[in-house]
Amino acid sequence: MTFEKCVRCGSCMKICPIFDAMGEEQYSPRGKLYLLQVMDKVESDPELAKEFRRLLFQCAMCGRCTDVCSSDVDLLRIWHEQRARAIKDAPQEFAYLGALEKSLENVKNIYGLSPEDRAVYWLDELEQEIPNLRKRVFPEAKTADVVVFLGCLMSFRASQVDVLRALFKSLEILKVDYLVLGAEEFCCGHPLDLMGDEAGAKKLRTHNKRVIKQTGAKQLITCCPGCLSQLQNNYNFTGIEVLHHTQFFDRLLQSIEPYKQTEEFTYHDPCELHRICNVKTEPRSLLKKMGVQFRELELSCCGGGGLLRMTDPNLSDKIQQLRAAREKLSSTTVITACPACREQLLGNNLKTKDIIELLVTCLSEAKG
């Protein structure tokens, strides 16, 4: 039990977005670890035990506490394990997560929509602009060097279509041999992983892995750091390289036509990309190659991770609002590289662009 290694130095407290928003010790990683250390006392009081289980899901799972800990406490692992335990011990307290679990079990996406619809909305929207796009969708497209794993957010949300447009156009301009999994893509399993449902996540992974293998892909790319963390860390692919789209394009392009910048940019590191997948240099390298000037933001969470939008939407919004005020975000366009961060920023009326949206402008300019 690595939580016993916590020396309660408090380094994790002030950098925790939940503590920042709530201001009370029990919301901080240190506070939660302390409760774990005295769990016998917590469990002897049913109300306290219930409160502790609730606290476990008031967490953005951003991993900043793990990052800052010098005592070798793997806090993220602890949160995963304790979440699983909480749901197992008191499923009735997490009934609101049941709909999500059911959706993932029945229709394999987080929205409860028909699996067939996974390649309907964006295809309808983009087909005219990218005429061959339909032929890029599996199983009509059977094999390709590069497979694009879209993830639930990008497959179903209208707010993501601009990013998809930019992604597909960039791939077309660069003549990449790619296909999109379409209706055969299931959720990557990330939400279930965050709930500690390993068995459910495994089922989804098994299906995805089989389909991806059929395509003969050499590279698997995704714009979603949540999907990336699953594909990289839990799928155990052999012979298939899993990349974030910023990694893929940064490797592919040695130089890029300069971006004609007319607005003030900031860059927000998605937590799962930066801390969990350790992708730090490529997004910045791409921006540098495009000559984009930007202000670095704090390495803090947008508030949209760890299922927090489901478990405590008000807290999730408050985290973003505090950041927006502190880092003066309303006067800038926040560049990021994550569909969940994008949703969170747009939901709080902030301007945002994925890096790929800037890139496609440069590539189109170069193409003339």
Partner 1 sequence: MDFRKIKGVFYPRTDEQVQEAVAWARERGYDVTPKGGGSGLSGACTGGDRDRVMISSLQMKEVLSVSKDQGYVDVQPGATPDEINVLLAPLKMKFYVTPSSRDVATVGGMLNTDGGGNDAWVNGTMRDNTLRAKIVLYDGRLITVEQKSVKSSDSQLESDLNSVGMTINDVASSHGTLGFVTELRLSIRPIVQERLIGGLAEYRDSDELGSTLRRMIETKSPVKYGEAIVAAHPDVRGELRPPELILEFPEDYASNLENITHFRKLTAEELAKLKDVRLKLPKRNPKKGLQLALFEDYGFYGDGLKMIQEGVAGIDLLLKKHGFVPFAKYGHAPSKWYLGNNAAAYGIILHSREIRPEGITKAEVFKAVMELVDLCEEAGITPKPEHKWPYNDKVKNDRIQQIREVIGEGFNTFVLQSDCNVVLSSMV
| Cis ω for the linkage preceding 115 (within 30 of 0) | no
Mutual angle of helices 198-214 and 98-106, in 10-degree steps: 30
* Residue 51 engages partner 1 in binding (rule: CB under 8 A): no
* Residue 14 engages partner 1 in binding (rule: CB under 8 A): yes
Chain-centroid distance of CA 40 in Å reads 35
Q: Which is nearer to partner 1, 85 or 326 (CB)?
A: 326
Q: Which is nearer to partner 1, 38 or 252 (CB)?
A: 38
* Residue 40 engages partner 1 in binding (rule: CB under 8 A): no
DSSP H helices in the chain? 17-22, 29-37, 39-43, 46-56, 64-68, 75-89, 98-106, 121-126, 151-156, 161-173, 190-194, 198-214, 225-233, 245-252, 271, 281-289, 308-311, 313-326, 339-347, 355-367
Question: In angstroms, what is the minimal distance from the CB of 294 to partner 1?
Answer: 21
Question: In angstroms, what is the minimal distance from the CB of 34 to partner 1?
Answer: 9
Question: In angstroms, what is the minimal distance from the CB of 83 to partner 1?
Answer: 23
Q: Looking at 29, 30, 235, 354, which residue binds partner 1 (CB under 8 A)? A: 30
* Residue 99 engages partner 1 in binding (rule: CB under 8 A): no
Q: Which stretch binds partner 1 (CB under 8 A): 22-30, 283-291, 293-301, 316-324?
A: 22-30
Give the number of other CB atoms < 10 A from CB of residue 161: 15
Question: In angstroms, what is the minimal distance from the CB of 19 to partner 1?
Answer: 9
Burial of 352 by CB count in 10 Å (0-12 exposed, 13-18 middle, 19+ buried)? Answer: buried
Q: Which is nearer to partner 1, 35 or 338 (CB)?
A: 35
Q: How far apart are CA 30 and CA 10, in angstroms?
A: 6
| Residues that contact partner 1, how many (by CB under 8 A) | 21
Question: In angstroms, what is the minimal distance from the CB of 58 to partner 1?
Answer: 16
* Residue 325 engages partner 1 in binding (rule: CB under 8 A): no
* Residue 252 engages partner 1 in binding (rule: CB under 8 A): no
Q: How far apart are CA 271 and CA 226, in angstroms?
A: 9
Question: In angstroms, what is the minimal distance from the CB of 72 to partner 1?
Answer: 5
Token representation of residue 242 = 């899993």
- Classify 180 as helix, strand or coil: strand
Beta-carbon contacts of 332 under 8 Å, excluding residues fewer than 6 positions away, are 263, 264, 265, 266, 295, 351
Q: How far apart are CA 223 and CA 251, in angstroms?
A: 15
* Residue 43 engages partner 1 in binding (rule: CB under 8 A): no
* Residue 9 engages partner 1 in binding (rule: CB under 8 A): yes
Q: Looking at 25, 74, 81, 93, which residue binds partner 1 (CB under 8 A)? A: 25
Q: Looking at 39, 67, 71, 123, which residue binds partner 1 (CB under 8 A)? A: 71
**For the chain, how long is the longest CA-to-CA vector?**
70
**How many helices (H) and strands (E) in the chain?**
20, 8
Handedness of CA 202, 208, 116, 360 (dihedral sign): positive
Q: Which stretch binds partner 1 (CB under 8 A): 19-27, 162-170, 243-251, 276-284?
A: 19-27
Q: Which stretch binds partner 1 (CB under 8 A): 1-9, 126-134, 243-251, 303-311?
A: 1-9
**Residue 292's closest CA among 356, 348, 244, 227?**
356
Q: Looking at 36, 48, 126, 322, which residue binds partner 1 (CB under 8 A)? A: 48
Q: Which stretch binds partner 1 (CB under 8 A): 52-60, 64-72, 258-266, 338-346?
A: 64-72
Q: Looking at 29, 66, 70, 86, which residue binds partner 1 (CB under 8 A)? A: 70
Q: Which is nearer to partner 1, 65 or 356 (CB)?
A: 65
Q: Which residues bind partner 1 (CB under 8 A)?
A: 4-5, 7-11, 13-14, 23-25, 30, 38, 41, 45, 48, 69-72
